[in-house]
Amino acid sequence: MHSKTKYVVLALLILIPSFVNLGVPIYNRALPELFGLPFFYWFQTFWLFACTGFYFTYAKLVEKKS
C-alpha cells in the first residue's frame, strides 16, 4: 500500500466513527427495536464494538508503518 493511500485509510478509520457518533439526529429514535431495545441504545452499542474494530485496525496499520 502506498504511503498516501495508507494515510487516507488511517484518516477514514478515525473520521467515520467520529462523524457517525456526532450525528445524533440520525439515530435519535425508538424504532426499530432489537431484542426489546430501542434503536438509540442498540445503535450506540453496535458502534461501541465497531469503533473498537476501527481502532485495532488503525493500530495495526500504524504499527506496520513503523
Residue spans of the chain under pLDDT 70 = 1, 65-66
**Per-residue DSSP letters for the chain?**
--HHHHHHHHHHHHHHHHHHHH-HHHH-S--S-BTTB-HHHHHHHHHHHHHHHHHHHHHHHHHHH-
| Interatomic CA distance for residues 11 and 5, integer angstroms | 10
Is the overall model pTM greater than 0.85, yes or no? no
What does the domain layout of the chain look like in residue ranges?
A: 3-65
| Interatomic CA distance for residues 42 and 13, integer angstroms | 21
pLDDT more than 70, % of the chain: 94
Residue in the structure block whose three cell numbers are 431484542 = 35
pLDDT at 7: 80
How many residues are there in the chain? Answer: 66
